[in-house]
A = this chain, B = another copy of it.
C-alpha cells in the first residue's frame, strides 16, 4: 500500500477577503492534513504587514485560539508538510517568509523543482545566502532579484528560470498570488466563500468551510488577488500538461475534485477496470482501509462479488514505537490494522490495495489475513507496478527498495504468498483518468516529462 512508504507531499491553502482569514486557513489545512503531518504554518496579511506562525506537528498541535488571535488580516496562506526525517526540519517548515526590499514576501509550495541545485549554486556563487535547504527558497531569491516593480512581474521573471512542479501561493502585505506550473504537475483549485476567494490543493478544503468549488486553476495560470480584485495571466505554455496521475490512485481524498474531476469517480473506475483485467474466483472483496475503499467498491460492483469490511483500522495511530528487543514481526501492521476473523474465516478473498512499494508491509498483511483463516487471497492492485522515483514532489523510495524493480509479478506473488496477484495496466489507469490526459505517469512508466538537472561535479 502507498501509505507504507510513499510520502504524502504537501498541501497549500489560501484565502483573500475574509475577516477570519487565519481561522478559515486553519480549518482548510485541517481538512488537508492527509497530505502532510509533519508541520504546519500560516501567514496572514492585513494590508500593512504580514504575520507568521509555524510549528512541527499536526495542524491542531500548532494552532489554537490564542495563536490565531495573533494572526489578524483578511488574507492568508497556509501549508502542511509531509513527514520526513532530517536534521534541520525546523527551518524547512513552510510557508517561508523573508524580508525583501519593499516589505515581506511569504510563499507556500507544493511540488518540487528539477533545476533547483544549479540555480542555487549559481546564486550562492554570487553571494546569496540560504536559510533552508528547500527548493522553495530558490524561488524567493529569484523573485527578490527581479528589478520589476510589481510583485506579479517579479514572480513571472522568477518562474521563467525554474523547471519542474509547483503549485505556489505567494503573500505580501497586500497581494496574494496563486500560480500553477505550465505542466500542471500538482493540483490547485479555486473556490469561494461568502465573497472571499479560496485556493486549495484539493476541493475538500472548501467543503469543510461550507464554501463552493469554482474550478481548477489551469496549468500555467497565475491569479493575482487583492482584497478587491482578481486578475489572471498566463505563464509561457509547456509543450503539454502532465498532472500527476498518482493523485487519483492514492494522494487525494475521494471527496475532493482535482484537475476538474471527482476523485471518487476516477478511483471507482480504477476498481472496475481492475476487475475486468484481473477477475478472481472469490467469495468477497475487501479493501485495505481507507485509501483503497473506493477502488474496492468499484471492483465489487463490476465483479458482482460482495464488498466486506474486514480490516479494522486503528484511528489513533500516532507515534507508536517499537521497544528495542521487541520482535518486529508483523508488529507495525498489527498496530495499524486488525483482521475481523468472523468475516474472513474460510473465505476466498479479493484484497484491493492501491499500490505495492517495498512489499514488506503487504506481506505482513497477507500473513495476518491467513492467520484469521482466509482460504485464498487474491491481491488486486489498482495501479501499475511503482518502479521509478518522482522528481516532482512525491517521496518514493529508491530504485533498489522498490520491489517492482527487483522481481517479476510472479516473483512478487510468491514473495507475498498470495494465490494470485494482478496489477492494473498502465492503459487501464490512463483510461480511468479519462479526460485528464496526458498525465505524468513517470513513477510507473519512467517517462519523465521534465528531466532532473543535476550539478556538474
Residues of chain A touching chain B, judged by Cβ–Cβ distance below 8 Å, are 20, 23, 27, 30-31, 33-34, 37, 51, 58-61, 64-65, 68, 87, 98-101, 105, 121, 124-133, 140-141, 144-147, 204, 207-210, 253-255, 262, 264-265, 290, 293-294, 297, 301, 306-309, 312-316, 318-321, 323, 325-326, 329-331, 334-335, 338-343
Contact = CB atoms under 8 A, between A and B. Distances in A.
A309 B335 contact: no
A208 B314 CA distance: 10
Given A204-B338, A208-B338, A309-B297, A124 B99 contact: yes
Contacts of A308: 297
Contact of A60 (B51, B255, B319): B319
A357 to B, nearest CB: 20
Task: Give the residue among A306, A335, A341 with the most B Cβ atoms within 10 A.
Answer: A341
A434 to B, nearest CB: 13
A349 to B, nearest CB: 15
A34 B338 contact: no
A326 B342 CA distance: 46
Contact of A144 (B27, B31, B127, B329): B127
A90 to B, nearest CB: 10
A329 to B, nearest CB: 7
Contacts of A127: 101, 141, 144-147
A309 B293 contact: yes
Nearest to A142: B127
A126 B129 CA distance: 13
A316 B58 contact: yes
Nearest to A96: B131
Contact of A254 (B126, B255, B323, B340): B340
A98 B98 CA distance: 14
B265 A342 contact: yes
Contacts of A98: 129-131
